[in-house]
Structure 1
Amino acid sequence: MLITKIYKTEEIDKAADELRKGELIAFPTETVYGLGADATNEQAVKRVYLAKGRPSDNPLIVTVSSFEMMKQYVDDISEDAQKLIRHFWPGSLTLIFKIKPGSLSKAVTGGLETAAFRMPDNSVTRNLIDLAGVPLVGPSANSSGKPSPTTAKHVFHDLEGRIAGIVDDGPTTVGVESTILDMSSEVPAILRPGAVLGEEIEQLLGKKILFDRHKVGKTETPKAPGMKYKHYAPDAQVLIVKHEDWQAALEWAKNRAESVGVMALKADLGVNLPNNCIFYDLGTDIHTASQRLFAGLRYFDNEQAVNWILAAAFPEKDLGAAYMNRLRKSAGDSFFENSKLS
């Protein structure tokens, strides 16, 4: 078994050296921690799938440190795409482009003629990529299907012994993965919502974009991560609770013989928690709730084992669309309905 090292930010030269050798290194971004491997090393990329237990038809995001690095793999970068890059990079926006034939392994693209690229708003990781001298694949650094990691501790919990190291830059600030925008189609389409809002993109481009919400079929290769397989799920069953249902949900929890996890804003509960409920504070608004969502799900997996988690719903607009996208997947789209629970 590998010994997984924790690298301080001033030790990234050592982490970069491991990447050049074909090893796997987890890295920080503003969204979640990513699992890095040399995107030009097919064997290293295949080890990412093994470490995560990730299906091999699920394409990987290519993480770059500069626009020039991405241009090595992409020929056709439209004016709209360049405008988006100037405005949102570095940041929480991933863009899908048609790539130069044969420029990236099928292990990266899932066999597609497109690839997704992102330049994160984290200077430590951009410096790491520069030192490694290659782009990195960067799926979330967790066991496939589990809540994404927002701290180095989360990564260590899932991947200790499977990867060479983790660059620790503290907790992430956004907490949900990047917005994915498909620029390879005639009309740009959001394949995964995130902190960069569709409305912001439309305003910048001065045109309407699509919001692709179709479910990927069993035999279809998804263009972006998170479109096909179960994601973000803790061991406990998550039930999504609408604001008006909290009183009934807590009454249901009170009558259970076991402990029940509760993830919400304190201000939204309006009542005292039953003694058998364990509370995880989502903060003050949708911004803090999005930042803390995955950490809360992991809290009830790793520190306070429960069979049920009641988690607050938010309106599915703006950042709430990204939050609810992840929460719906973690819950298997299960909402609290008092009459159907025993």
Structure 2
Amino acid sequence: MEPSLQTEVRSASEEAAAMAARLVLDGQPVAVPTETVYGLAADATNAEAVARIYAAKGRPSFNPLIVHVPDVTAAQQLGAFDAAALSLAEAHWPGPLTLVVPKKADAGIAPLVTAGLESIAIRVPAHPVMRMLLEMAGRPLAAPSANASGKISPTSAAHVKASLDGRIALILDGGQAKRGIESTIIAATDGTLRLLRRGPIDVPGALASDDARIEAPGQLSSHYAPGKPLRLEATHAEADEILIGYGDVEGELSLGRDPVTAAARLFAALHEADASPHPRIAVAPIPGDGLAAAIRDRLRRAAAPRP
């Protein structure tokens, strides 16, 4: 993404948070402090808003994103908490703990947020500025670290400005992040507690996960892939294929005509194609750099032979 915006840094105040909330509701990401690191927050129910996070960060992988909510009640509207997960939530929220739980069918979260998975990563942040933004926006917020892909996580507004200047409209300056490292991530999806990422909170009894599945940020294996063979760079559908089109290549399904729209539609289109009666899936070429390259990378992972 070429810098094209005038990035404003504003001291975190009620007026500045209201401005940030308006941008969020307009589908734009904003940088906001949390107690861990600065996050790049967007409306988690708006797929194109979430795609703009990836566009601003550069050429990322489509890992699941953490969804930030104001309290445990809001978290339970998005995910299913067993007794162990609920106990952790009540003990450590608000705070730097992320819980990965089964996603509820009616959660209303954009598929891009969860990378097409049936689990969801949720956190209730403690930082007053992030909490103010959550209250004013009235939406769950997806918020990875507010830095260009591959760069060091930001712990100040100056770090964000150096990394994302011209790529986002607003940075809320709430001073230095207190913790300076990302949240602990615990998965509670199968009756056990599994440690997916170490962080500020130690959870006794959580088993270090050696599972190859991607469930949360900070893991490196393959992501959700359809159960059907996937052919890339397709300009037409073979007799047994459903074609996911892009740009001038028309298909039964479409990713649109620009990378932001394509990223927003990617996982929903893959799920729909996987559920279709066609035994194979074809996807049109996605030319370009930045976000388009990230989409191609995600598709190559989805098309890779299973071990």
Q: Shorter-chain TM-score: which interval? A: 0.5 to 0.7
Matched, 1:226 2:234: no
Matched, 1:92 2:89: no
Matched, 1:79 2:71: no
TM-score normalized with structure 1 length: 0.60
Q: What does residue 2 of structure 1 align with?
A: 5
Per-residue CA distance 1:274-293 (angstroms, 9 max, x = gap): xxxxxxxxxxxxxxxxxxxx
Matched, 1:211 2:208: yes
Unaligned runs of 5+ in 1: 203-207, 230-342
Question: Are the equivalent residues in 1 in contact too, given 2:7–2:170 (CA < 8 A)?
Answer: yes
TM-score normalized with structure 2 length: 0.67
- How far did residue 186 of structure 1 move? 2.4
Matched, 1:101 2:111: no
Question: Are the equivalent residues in 2 in contact too, given 1:93–1:179 (CA < 8 A)?
Answer: yes
Q: Identify which of 29, 33, 50 aligns with 2:38.
A: 33
Number of corresponding residues? 215
- How far did residue 49 of structure 1 move? 1.0
SS of the equivalent of 1:141 reads coil
> Between Structure 1 and Structure 2, whose CA radius of gyration is higher?
1
Distance 1:180 1:31, change over 3 A: same
- How far did residue 180 of structure 1 move? 0.3
Partners of 1:107 and 1:173 lie apart in 2 by 29
Q: What does residue 184 of structure 2 align with?
A: 179
- How far did residue 119 of structure 1 move? 1.1
Question: Are the equivalent residues in 1 in contact too, given 2:32–2:172 (CA < 8 A)?
Answer: yes
Report matched runs for 1:181-330 at 5 Å.
Answer: 181-197=186-202, 201-202=203-204, 208-213=205-210, 216=212, 222-228=214-220
- How far did residue 54 of structure 1 move? 4.6
- How far did residue 58 of structure 1 move? 0.7
Q: What does residue 145 of structure 1 align with?
A: 150
Per-residue CA distance 1:19-78 (angstroms, 9 max, x = gap): 11111101101110000000011100011111112535311100111122222212x212
What letter corresponds to residue 11 of structure 2 in structure 1? K
Q: What does residue 246 of structure 2 align with?
A: none
Partners of 1:18 and 1:44 lie apart in 2 by 10
Higher relative helix content: 1
- How far did residue 137 of structure 1 move? 0.4
* TM-align CA RMSD: 1.5
- How far did residue 146 of structure 1 move? 1.2
Partners of 2:189 and 2:5 lie apart in 1 by 39
- More relative contact order, 1 or 2 (CA 8 Å, 6+ apart): 2
Unaligned runs of 5+ in 2: 222-307
Q: Percent identity?
A: 43
Q: Identify which of 44, 50, 54 aligns with 2:49.
A: 44
Q: What does residue 129 of structure 2 align with?
A: 124
